[in-house]
Structure 1
Amino acid sequence: MKLRSVNPATLEVISELETTPVDEVFEISKKAQEAFKKWSSTTIDDRLKLLKKAKEILYETKDEVAKLITLENGKPILESYSMEIFPTLDLFDFHIKNAKKVLKPRKVRSQIPLFWLKRNYIHFEPLGVVAVISPWNYPLLLPIAPIISALVAGNCVIFKPSEYTSLIGLKIYEIFKEAGFPENVFNIVIGFGDVGEALVNSEVDKISFTGSTKTGRIIMQNASKKPIPVTLELGGKDPMIVFDDVDIDLASSAAVWGAFANAGQTCVSVEICYVHEKIFEPFIEKVVEKTKKLKIGNGLDPDVEIGPINNEKQLKIIENQIQDAISKGAKVLTGGKRIFPKDKEGNELRGYFFEPAVITDVNNSMLLMKEETLVQFCQL
């Protein structure tokens, strides 16, 4: 089965990839279990040596990787560096500097009176094969964190990137492979939901999932049947509270950046803004003014501040939420509709572009107040 990687700014097909057959996912998990027997007995120094090499490769290829992120994910090239490349390099550094300290045996006081006169220690042992399933909004940063943690602790990894950012997932795989990680220690599977489901039900010992609450519930249910531990990072609804003593210019800039960075496609973006009534009007005026000045376009243009929505499915969710809010009395002060900006040559971009919206008069009956959404400002 073919999977198309599409540039969300132009809708051009970047590449066509073969998906991993479902039955092959189970074979990959078996091979990873075999590889774990040897990998788990390696020293932490051996693992850190490979981790350092992977970091060096990422740094050396950072321009290539940043461009690929912008091509496949859509975020502006500056954000590909500031929100993906640089934080990922920091993650490598953190693990390289702290892994030995975190994983060393730890002396503890037992809560059981019978053992109070004994020396008690916690020793950390590798768990097994870890499945890492990641989303499309931060296709480098979000999967790298659990991948590094699992590998440095002596576990094997099977990584499934989002079907919308599979090329970036393959680039991650290539980096670790080039760094010298042994065969079947770090693995990748490519595909849609059926591949993810097969991975969850394969011979894995832990699941790390970042994505929607709906999918997270399904994964937890399946994991409970084994049972195996899961780490879930799911959707949120994040407010910004603005008091009457703030610097309005500074606070409005923070709100605009917090709401619209990565085109609002961030699990901790500002989705609801509660503003003190004394400063509501001047605050909203500033927010609208600054939002209107944002340059929207192809993220490869260094002057662009807002790129496209990553995929058509997400775009339709946003459009539905906006229309629902309007039908229930919300006021859209700016934006809130699909647009087709022009590139530097004056050609119309036909990608998934959506004009950033500033919305007031919202209430709790509206979808954009109940569901994780793109952008939203409201008065309490």
Structure 2
Amino acid sequence: MTDSVVVAPSDGNPVAPAGERRASDVVTPELVARLTAGIRGSGTDTNHCPFTGEVLAEFPTCSTDDVAAAYEDARAAQRAWAERSVRARAAVLLRFHDLVLRDQDELLDLIQLETGKTRLQAHEEMQAVLVVARHYGRKAPSYLRPRRHLGAVPLLTQALVLRHPKGVVGHISPWNYPFELSAGDALPAFVAGNAVVMKPDSQTALTALWGRRKLIEAGLPEDVWQIVLGEGPVVGPAVVEQGDYVSFTGSTRTGRDVAQRAAARLVGSTLELGGKNAMLVLDDADIDKAVDGAVRSCFSSAGQLCISIERLYVHAAVAEEFLGKFTERTRAMRLGTGLAYGADLGSLVSARQLEVVTRHVDEARAKGATVLTGGRPRPDVGPLFYEPTILDGVEPPMAVCTEETFGPVVSVYRFGDVEEAVDRANGTPYGLNSSVWTRNTRRGRAVAARLRTGTVNVNEGYAAAYASVAAPMGGMGQSGLGRRHGAEGIWKYTEAQTVATQRLLPLAPSSGMTDAGYAALMNKGLRAMKTLRLR
């Protein structure tokens, strides 16, 4: 394969060479049979390759009865799985880590063919899962160990906190990060001793099935991870309504329905929902680094990433320099369909996503916004390609100003001082991710603390916070509930149980003591414990 670049006749973004390998070379009948072995379903469905529109695979789809059967098998398998030691379960994650690295070419092919991503962006998704596997593979025994706490009365009361698995987790994952949001999100649930019944999006079913098969090869009992495929309105509610805990990543609208169904059963849930993420370029930012960061943050996975940047606030003093360089870099991005490294931007995943992106840009242009670069589909590259687009002069009520576009589109706004930038960045019901660029990291952290988002990156767009898996990641406001990663990311899949042991004396009057005498004794004890600074 050559590294040369072919410039499109439209004089738009250049096109990287497609290469010789095709979808049919990767998604063979043998591969599909291997991945779908044991998957329930009497119906059938197909998915398509965004690069070309061709059918990738046919796979079984489930009924609500199939979902119920999956839960029954998962519950039976979970009991034996939970009886294994935490270290034994964690060892499965570490073996999974090595198997994925070994067989990554097949995985990267599937991610590209199902999502339309570039090779590098597929690799970044794989990296995210392996970091999680390593983290919980090493840290789960510490997170889940019994913890002693000071009891009600020192020396007399001992409190011990145990963590038990929830049972069977109902999990619904989207199409945009099919390995990270299926296998990656399930890993802490498994190591905590749970089973999982998961409904991945049908468009990216093969990637999720590949992850399951690789985890089974690493030692996970087959019935502990059940995958059910089918129509969202049919299979999704059945998964939610039978889980002992629910994990969902997707739209805010659907997330509300999931939360209501779980709450009606008094079952907990984690929701990662939409975002309208902002990047702030302050007047002392390193412009070249900020431009590089903006290209990565706005256009990775063609913008189909919940934590990518859709609003770009630039200080007026550096706006001209920044926008000149940012526009030039964006215009030079190479579009590509090849199953190899070299392209900068891949395809949108569906005609629906292409319609939303086109509508947002066309409406903004019609209402007075300026397209600095991009702003058009690229059917010469593939049926769902859209050029990376920068919009200037965006104002309400343009949809692109406030609604999540979820595509390779960013709107630029100028500001005069930090107060204005923070207010405008916070002026949205979403609160998932944000970014601050400055040479003064102390200043950057101070600004970050005022942004109402679950993660903030200083001098990076989203990767620094997301990849720091010992720290929690999640959304505020309409961007969701709960957190993934770190202690919170595994504790959510457990029930905390306090076992308190009382010794020598009860917490009540004893040995003939009157109620008044007991109360007087406790008064002295309470004062003493405060004086001794006991917590």
TM-score range, shorter chain: over 0.9
Deviation at 1:117, TM superposition (A): 5.4
Give the whole-Å Cα distance in 2 for the aligned partners of 1:109 and 1:316: 59
Aligned mate of 2:88, from 32, 36, 46: 46
Aligned mate of 1:86, from 127, 133, 136: 127
Aligned mate of 1:337, from 366, 376, 383: 376
Deviation at 1:191, TM superposition (A): 1.7
Q: Partner residue of 1:195?
A: 235
Q: Partner residue of 1:214?
A: 253
Query: For residues 109 and 327 of structure 1, do their structure 2 counterparts lie closer, same or farther at Cα, with a shift above 3 Å needed?
Result: farther
Q: Which amino acid aligns with 1:135?
A: P
Say if 2:394 is the partner of 1:362. Answer: yes
Structure 2: unaligned runs, 5 residues or longer: 1-42, 415-535
Q: Partner residue of 1:15?
A: 57
> What aligned pairs does 1:97-246 form with structure 2 within 5 A after superposition?
97-109=138-150, 118-193=157-232, 194-202=234-242, 204-246=243-285
Q: Partner residue of 2:73?
A: 31
Give the whole-Å Cα distance in 2 for the aligned partners of 1:121 and 1:350: 59
Task: Please say if residues 126 and 153 of structure 1, whose CA atoms lie closer than 8 Å, have aligned partners that are also in contact.
Answer: yes
Please state whether the residue corresponding to 1:23 is helix, strand or coil: helix
Relative to structure 2, which stretch is displaced further, 32-41 or 115-124?
115-124
Give the whole-Å Cα distance in 2 for the aligned partners of 1:287 and 1:146: 34
Please state whether the residue corresponding to 1:235 is helix, strand or coil: coil
Structure 1 segments, 4+ long, off by >6 Å, are none
Task: Please say if residues 363 and 398 of structure 2, whose CA atoms lie closer than 8 Å, have aligned partners that are also in contact.
Answer: yes
Q: Which amino acid aligns with 2:289?
A: L
Give the whole-Å Cα distance in 2 for the aligned partners of 1:303 and 1:332: 26
Task: Please say if residues 198 and 228 of structure 2, whose CA atoms lie closer than 8 Å, have aligned partners that are also in contact.
Answer: yes
Deviation at 1:124, TM superposition (A): 0.5
Task: Please say if residues 299 and 306 of structure 1, whose CA atoms lie closer than 8 Å, have aligned partners that are also in contact.
Answer: no
Deviation at 1:132, TM superposition (A): 1.7
Structure 1: unaligned runs, 5 residues or longer: 342-348
Query: For residues 116 and 223 of structure 1, do their structure 2 counterparts lie closer, same or farther at Cα, with a shift above 3 Å needed?
Result: farther
Paired positions, count: 369
Please state whether the residue corresponding to 2:223 is helix, strand or coil: coil
Q: Partner residue of 2:352?
A: 313
Relative to structure 2, which stretch is displaced further, 64-73 or 13-22?
13-22
Aligned mate of 1:62, from 89, 100, 104: 104
Query: For residues 254 and 123 of structure 1, do their structure 2 counterparts lie closer, same or farther at Cα, with a shift above 3 Å needed?
Result: same
Aligned mate of 2:308, from 269, 292, 296: 269
For 1:57-114, what per-residue CA distance to the aligned partner results, in whole angstroms no more than 9, with x for missing partners? Answer: 2122111101111111111112211x1122211111111110101101122346xx67
Q: Which amino acid aligns with 1:85?
A: M
Task: Please say if residues 183 and 208 of structure 2, whose CA atoms lie closer than 8 Å, have aligned partners that are also in contact.
Answer: no
For 1:23-45, what per-residue CA distance to the aligned partner results, in whole angstroms no more than 9, with x for missing partners? Answer: 11011112212222222222112
For 1:153-198, what per-residue CA distance to the aligned partner results, in whole angstroms no more than 9, with x for missing partners? Answer: 1111112111210110111121122223224211111122121121
Give the whole-Å Cα distance in 2 for the aligned partners of 1:84 and 1:256: 17
Deviation at 1:115, TM superposition (A): 8.1
Task: Please say if residues 75 and 299 of structure 1, whose CA atoms lie closer than 8 Å, have aligned partners that are also in contact.
Answer: no
Q: Partner residue of 1:346?
A: none
Query: For residues 230 and 115 of structure 1, do their structure 2 counterparts lie closer, same or farther at Cα, with a shift above 3 Å needed?
Result: farther
Q: Partner residue of 1:378?
A: 412
Task: Please say if residues 283 and 317 of structure 2, whose CA atoms lie closer than 8 Å, have aligned partners that are also in contact.
Answer: yes
Task: Please say if residues 396 and 402 of structure 2, whose CA atoms lie closer than 8 Å, have aligned partners that are also in contact.
Answer: yes
Give the whole-Å Cα distance in 1 for the aligned partners of 2:276 and 2:404: 6
For 1:304-347, what per-residue CA distance to the aligned partner results, in whole angstroms no more than 9, with x for missing partners? Answer: 11000011111111111112222322111111111124xxxxxx
Q: Partner residue of 2:506?
A: none
Please state whether the residue corresponding to 2:280 is helix, strand or coil: strand
Please state whether the residue corresponding to 1:18 is helix, strand or coil: strand
Q: Give the TM-score normalised by structure 1.
A: 0.93
Give the whole-Å Cα distance in 1 for the aligned partners of 2:194 and 2:292: 43
Deviation at 1:246, TM superposition (A): 1.7
Give the whole-Å Cα distance in 2 for the aligned partners of 1:18 and 1:116: 60
Aligned mate of 2:113, from 44, 67, 71: 71
Give the whole-Å Cα distance in 2 for the aligned partners of 1:106 and 1:329: 60
Give the whole-Å Cα distance in 2 for the aligned partners of 1:258 and 1:173: 29
Task: Please say if residues 274 and 404 of structure 2, whose CA atoms lie closer than 8 Å, have aligned partners that are also in contact.
Answer: yes
- Cα RMSD (Å): 1.7
Say if 2:320 is the partner of 1:281. Answer: yes
Task: Please say if residues 347 and 382 of structure 2, whose CA atoms lie closer than 8 Å, have aligned partners that are also in contact.
Answer: no
Query: For residues 280 and 116 of structure 1, do their structure 2 counterparts lie closer, same or farther at Cα, with a shift above 3 Å needed?
Result: farther
Identical aligned residues as a percent: 36
Relative to structure 2, which stretch is displaced further, 94-103 or 192-201?
192-201
Q: Partner residue of 2:382?
A: 350
Q: Which amino acid aligns with 1:367?
A: A
Please state whether the residue corresponding to 1:379 is helix, strand or coil: strand
Give the whole-Å Cα distance in 2 for the aligned partners of 1:22 and 1:108: 45
